[in-house]
Amino acid sequence: MNENNDIYYTAYATRDPRFDGLFFIGVTTTGIYCRPICPARTPKQTNCRFFDSPAAAEKALFRPCLRCRPELAPGYAPIDDAQRIAHLIVDRIEEGIIDDSFTLEDIAAQFELSSRQIRRIVRKAMGVPPIQLMQTRRLLLAKQLLTETRLSITEIAFASGFSSLRRFNAAFSKQYTMPPTRLRKEVSEVEILDDYAHTSTIQLTYRPPYDWESVLEFLSTRMLVGIEWVSRDCYCRTIQLGSHKGWIAVRHAPEKHSLLVEFSHSLLLVLPALLGRLRNMFDLSARPDLISAQLMRDDILGRAVINNPGLRVPGTFDGFELAVRAILGQQVSVKTATTLASRYVEAFGEKIVTPFPELNRLSPLPDHISKTSVESISKLGVITNRARCIIALAKAYQDNELPLDTGMNPEIVIKKLLALPGVGLWTAHYIAMRALRWPDAFPKEDIAIRNNLGGITARQAEEISQSWRPWRSYAVLHIWRLSAKK
């Protein structure tokens, strides 16, 4: 990063929040690395080293700052193919699909690449090899849990992905030159927000601005009754990750540029996967500065961007769940689609008990739906062709023929979606936009988009949208909001 040192130092000296999470500063006189927004006194540039990621800083033997807490830095917004693969590897690490038992060759095989290609891609994007990346992310999560919760050291060790307390203590002491217990003593004055007996609360940061109200509004109108509940200031839902079942409640903390995630302790052992999915769902890694700069060049979108600078593209917690919801929503209103989806949840979702009476169902599993008859879905008011499509989707997903994970190649997934009976281009792009987190999805057939662009054809909409790339998904959300206000 030597060629950018002057730019990074200027951003650091001015505490520019747009650069938060894009680079980290190691201070040679203290041995500590910080975020660009760190409130500590600015060191001389000659005493600074700049890194692409926390893992790269820790590889150079710098320790994380206790004031700005690098573990809270927002993530990246992947655009190009190398970044997409690197972030997909990170997601799979957090999901537990890639763990300590995997070799680099095992990781490479999952992406149909050579181990050399994987090493090069991850090192270029993150500054370190995959295995070191995994270790650093686990330690930073452990550091956050030590700081923000009352969980025991043993619970934190397993919640952050370590297979034993011994390994956790050894890794933490080696990396940070202190035992975990000392860190907890040093940050004991930090406000703890959890009810230790049943839940813990942890924060997920973003780059401001962030339009929390529009995210809640979007999710509320598409709410799956029984699985989700959206109030005036909170998003709640039930969770099932593998055999682990529970619930979460997400609130906004604008003064911290964070979302506060309260989670039931039944989800502790899948916490990395849970937090990774929530970052994607709430679009916390977005770069509003880059997105706004691109879209404001357009006469149609310029004023919309000025009025809604923190607009996000809401993702989904579960790709299969979202795909079913999208199929049910084909050629019907949002309200009708929500009604059909709620019937679907009531019929096929497993019951669960939570502290919230509104949350009483888990999301129907693809294994269950793949074995369901067309008639059992049709009787909910779903037309026969869509019932067949949902079952075909469930079978393809269950057989790993149609992955719907964040970061998957959108062109390949869209092609596979279109091969399903009854899935059109609008539905495929909508799924790519929300489930795959593709920032450049564009459902050009959407009538609201075409009407707001002057009643044009889908082909003309495609031509106009070229100047919005690679952020067409965000353009779509702006246009939909314009349509909703008319």
Q: Is 34 among the catalytic positions?
A: yes
| Interaxial angle between packed helices 425-434 and 319-328, expressed in degrees from 0 to 180 and rounded to the nearest 10 | 150
Q: Which helix (H) or strand (E) holds 140?
A: helix 130-148
Q: Are strands 258-264 and 244-253 parallel, antiparallel or unpaired?
A: antiparallel
Burial of 77 (0-12, 13-18, 19+ CB in 10 A): buried
Count Cβ neighbours within 10 Å for each residue of 127-140 and write b for 16 or more, e otherwise.
bbbbbbbbbbbbbb
Catalytic residue, candidates 34, 65, 68, 236: 34
DSSP state of 240: E
Q: Are 247 and 356 in contact (CB under 8 A)?
A: yes
Q: How far apart are CA 179 and CA 308, in angstroms?
A: 45
> Tokens 């050291």 correspond to what residue?
153
Q: Which two tokens stand for residue 282?
A: 């709430």
User: Catalytic residue at 446?
Assistant: yes
Whole-angstrom distance, CA of residue 213 vs CA of residue 308: 11
Got the DSSP string for 12-55? HHTT-GGGBTTBEEEETTTTEEE-TT--SPPPPGGGEEEESSHH
Which of 20, 52, 440, 446 is labelled catalytic? 446
Residue 207's region, left for phi above 0, alpha for psi from -120 to 50, else beta, is beta
Task: Give the SS3 label for residue 245.
Answer: strand
Compute the C-alpha angle 312/315/319, nearest 5°. 170
In sequence order, what are the beta bridge partners of 49?
26
Strand boundaries in 137-257, DSSP class E: 199-205, 228-230, 234-241, 244-253
Question: What are the catalytic residues?
Answer: 34, 446
